[in-house]
Chain A
Amino acid sequence: MTKYVQHELKVESNKEELARQNFVMGMRSYVLHDMANGMRAAYDAKIEPAFERRQGRKPLDGPEVHKALKNETSFKFYSNMRCNTQEMSFRSVLPAIERNVENLNRKAKTLSQSTEKAAGSVDINSTFEIPKSVANIDVHLMPGSYVTEYAEDDVTQGAVYDNGISVFSMGFFGENLDDIGSTLALYISKKYPDFSPSKILDLGCTIGHNTVPWARTYPEAEVHAIDVAAPALRYGHARAQSQGATVHFHQQSAEATEFEDESFDMIFSSMFLHEVPKDGIHKAFREAHRLLKPGGLMLHMELPPNKMLGAYDAFYMDWDSYYNKEPYYKTFRDMDPVKVCVAAGFKETNFIQYIVPSLGLYGRNAVLDSVKEALTEANENTGRFGDGIMWYSFGAWK
């Protein structure tokens, strides 16, 4: 089975398929470290000095670096091989899933109907209109995107995401793909020990991998999760059931949910906002403001905004927007998180942002230490699989 899929929906890959997955993980590491460092070295040694000689100054932002770098051979190899390893991550897990479509769907149904370990639910809306931002593009080069359905009540694309991301992440998303949720839930629970949310909502939850940690950290809370993709929701529900976490999944849009005003204490999202077009982000923030009770918390984990980064790091993180079929990434990261929160009705004085070390990589004490000493500087390791893993998050209290 794929290395980091540990629940009852795991599929058996044969030895050859596992060897292919191992190769892809090795290539991912090679591209993100060796080739990325090589590209940076070429930039520092050749490109930036040449720019400075011509313009009398260093590049100011990501686009200036991108323009200067795009004809460089190391950029071309880095970019091609990043695209290839991205596609290969998903392709390496497809054969095992393809053999097991019927099994997976059967297992998901059984898990859904069982209340043995958890009492979660999934609510799919057959008339729901899937936004083009997800339906018309194979997001992050994942064949079929989140939404293709191969059978009735299909979970296949949930499995493609789960297994594909397991290869893609090389373990840096955690043994259960939940490092982001686990890190931030622990951080929040220690930073705000008097905060006891009784109702939590995860926006754009995909397969609920970062939702479950909130259910575990706040066991008294009622946990809900929404996404526009039915296969991801069905898979996420079965996965949560398998892991003994009660989560209620709903097919809804974060831009306009069906929940009542002031019905949640905590609203969370992780690696979601960058997949939403600009006007959708504003709508989602206004919706979050409407949904939050006074004194509630909105928190979004994402890659840091460009305003926090130097020109090269901004270019480096913007790369996915141009080439990884994540076209909204740059627009999102060009936004000012403070302004987005304020525009949605949150007070500027209630804005928060944190950079927290990965629980999986650095351990519990590192996270607890960071509660005391807030980190404020982002760099190319923040949110990426660089030489260290730090999770950036921002939001506001209502």
Chain B
Amino acid sequence: MWANKPKKLKTKLRYSVRGKRFQFFDAQGVDELVSINMALAQELWVVKERQATMEAVAAAKGIVLPEEIEDHEFSDDQKEALEAERKAFIDRIFFILREEAEALEDDLDAEPAAPEVP
């Protein structure tokens, strides 16, 4: 969960898909906007699922959440963890832009070609 400092990874995997990028809309940037919106919707869903869980857990323990939330202060460690999580969050939502940048390193000629669009 976000409040625990993420462990350092021994092996980093590639998240970007290599090679030619898709573009369906004529106007520049529209495909990216759709990607960004989908990532945004995904993150909102994550929050909704978690909120649903929290409310259920709290209710089971008899805790009244709105008051507790107003009084709450994060510790310095928690603030640091939250900031790291926000950075990762932003990277996820705008991932398409990172993928396009990484694709600049790819050898497009080596990739087998799709059939020509009629």
The chain A residues found within 8 Å of chain B, CB to CB, are 14-16, 19-20, 22-24, 26-27, 63-64, 66-67, 70, 75-77, 79-81, 83-85, 87-88, 91, 94, 97-99, 101-102, 132-133, 136-138, 141-144, 148, 150-151, 156, 160, 277, 321-323, 325, 327-328, 330-331
Shortest beta-carbon distance from A29 to chain B in Å: 14
Query: A150, B50: Cβ atoms under 8 Å?
Result: no
Query: A98, B13: Cβ atoms under 8 Å?
Result: yes
Shortest beta-carbon distance from A36 to chain B in Å: 15
Shortest beta-carbon distance from A83 to chain B in Å: 5
Within 8 A of A (CB), among B6-30: 7, 9-19, 22, 24-25
With an 8 A cutoff between CB atoms, is B60 at the interface? no
B115 / chain A contacts, CB cutoff of 8 Å: 321-322, 327, 330-331
The B interface is mostly helix, strand or loop, or mixed, namely loop
The A interface is mostly helix, strand or loop, or mixed, namely helix
Quick one: closest A residue to B96, CB to CB? A84
- A-B residue pair count with CB separations less than 8 angstroms: 120
- How many residues belonging to B are interface residues under a CB distance threshold of 8 Å? 37
With an 8 A cutoff between CB atoms, is B111 at the interface? yes
A327 / chain B contacts, CB cutoff of 8 Å: 112-115
Query: A98, B9: Cβ atoms under 8 Å?
Result: yes
Known: A19-B46, A88-B38, A143-B16. A102 touches B10 (CB 8 A): yes
Q: Which one, A88, A91, A137, contacts B18 given CB within 8 A? A: A137
Shortest beta-carbon distance from A386 to chain B in Å: 22
Query: B35, A84: Cβ atoms under 8 Å?
Result: yes
Query: A101, B10: Cβ atoms under 8 Å?
Result: yes
Query: B34, A80: Cβ atoms under 8 Å?
Result: yes
Expressed in whole angstroms, the Cα–Cα distance for A64 and B41 within the complex equals 35
Query: A321, B110: Cβ atoms under 8 Å?
Result: no
With an 8 A cutoff between CB atoms, is B31 at the interface? yes
Q: Which one, B13, B25, B45, B50, contacts A143 given CB within 8 A? A: B13
Query: B9, A80: Cβ atoms under 8 Å?
Result: no
Shortest beta-carbon distance from A334 to chain B in Å: 9
Shortest beta-carbon distance from B57 to chain A in Å: 11
Within 8 A of A (CB), among B23-58: 24-25, 31, 34-35, 38-39, 41-42, 45-46, 49-50, 53
Query: A99, B9: Cβ atoms under 8 Å?
Result: yes
Expressed in whole angstroms, the Cα–Cα distance for A177 and B111 within the complex equals 29
Expressed in whole angstroms, the Cα–Cα distance for A356 and B110 within the complex equals 38
Query: B14, A143: Cβ atoms under 8 Å?
Result: yes
Query: A138, B38: Cβ atoms under 8 Å?
Result: no
With an 8 A cutoff between CB atoms, is B94 at the interface? no
